[in-house]
Amino acid sequence: MFTDTHCHLYNEYYEDIDEVINRAKENDVNRYFVVGCDRKSTEEVLKVINKYPNTYGIIGYHPEVALEYTKDDIKYLEEHVKDNKVIAIGEIGLDYHYTKDCKNEQKELFEAQLSIAQKYNIPVCIHSREATQDTIDILKKYNVKGIIHSFSGSLEVANIYIKMGYKLGIGGVITFKNSNLKDVIKQIPLENIVLETDAPYLTPHPYRGTPNEPKYIKTIAEFISVLYGVKLSQVSKVTNDNIREIFDIE
């Protein structure tokens, strides 16, 4: 059995969530961490986790809303972090690829959410794009642990995050022909990795061009089992053990 530690499984992207979950189950993917990005999707996450078994919520505000979020949104987040089945704050972080003109606002939003995570002792799911040094510098100020979502850095950066207590979220990108992520990841023990799709984005090879779904965790797991030369059951066991190190779930 596998866990998708990062999917955007709500009506904004999927009309029929029951069908997506059924297809995932047929592929041995039986647990889903559903991630918010803004106020609207965070509210959707809370609805989904109330309705579907084996779904867990990661709620918070992505750097892309750094110029839009309100004090009330932060209050809302703080009110819901201890809700039943909410297991982390995310995805939060810095993105200098699309929105580099508001670095200070991004840092402010990021730190506001890290403060809440630290206060309530809840893990975080980190989005960092073209902002590695600032991300590391800010994370070092807080006593939190979590996942580096869609990790794509160097071996050196991987080892910095690992030393800080983070797991690396690995998804479809590792299967891309034009990505050298596999060369970095095979040098890192499996004990530092969790599986994620980021559905509906980043569909793995050979399904690129179609919407991603949690079922493709199996495709990613198969790729990793070949990369490490271990059985698929070992990938399942170790990645689920890794989840238990970070999250307060069975």
Alpha helices in 89-216 (DSSP H): 103-120, 132-139, 155-163, 181-185
Q: How far is the CB of 147 from Ni ion (least distance, A)?
A: 11
How many binding residues for Ni ion (CB under 5 A)?
1
Pairing of strands 55-59, 193-195: unpaired
Q: How far is the CB of 82 from Ni ion (least distance, A)?
A: 23
Nearest CB to Ni ion, comparing residues 95 and 198: 198
Q: What is the DSSP string of 59-75?
A: E---GGGTTT--HHHHH
Nearest CB to Ni ion, comparing residues 73 and 198: 198
Alpha helices in the chain (DSSP H): 17-26, 39-51, 71-80, 103-120, 132-139, 155-163, 181-185, 217-228, 232-246
β-sheet bridge partners, residue 195 = 170
Other CB atoms within a 10 A radius of the CB of residue 79 amount to: 9
Nearest CB to Ni ion, comparing residues 68 and 183: 68
Nearest CB to Ni ion, comparing residues 37 and 184: 37
What is the distance of C-alpha 110 from the center of its chain? 15
Cβ-closest position to Ni ion: 198
From CA 83, how far away is CA 89, in angstroms rounded? 12
Q: How far is the CB of 58 from Ni ion (least distance, A)?
A: 9
Nearest CB to Ni ion, comparing residues 90 and 175: 90
Q: How far is the CB of 233 from Ni ion (least distance, A)?
A: 27
Q: How far is the CB of 249 from Ni ion (least distance, A)?
A: 20
Nearest CB to Ni ion, comparing residues 40 and 75: 40
Q: What is the DSSP string of 153-168?
A: --HHHHHHHHHTTEEE
Q: How far is the CB of 5 from Ni ion (least distance, A)?
A: 11
β-sheet bridge partners, residue 147 = 125, 167
Q: Under a CB-based contact definition with an 8 Å cutoff, are residues 1 and 28 in contact?
A: yes
Nearest to 148 by CA among 130, 129, 132, 126: 126
Nearest CB to Ni ion, comparing residues 198 and 213: 198
Q: How far is the CB of 234 from Ni ion (least distance, A)?
A: 27
Q: Residues 189-218: x/- map of binding to Ni ion (CB under 5 A)?
A: ---------x--------------------
Q: Which residues bind Ni ion (CB under 5 A)?
A: 198
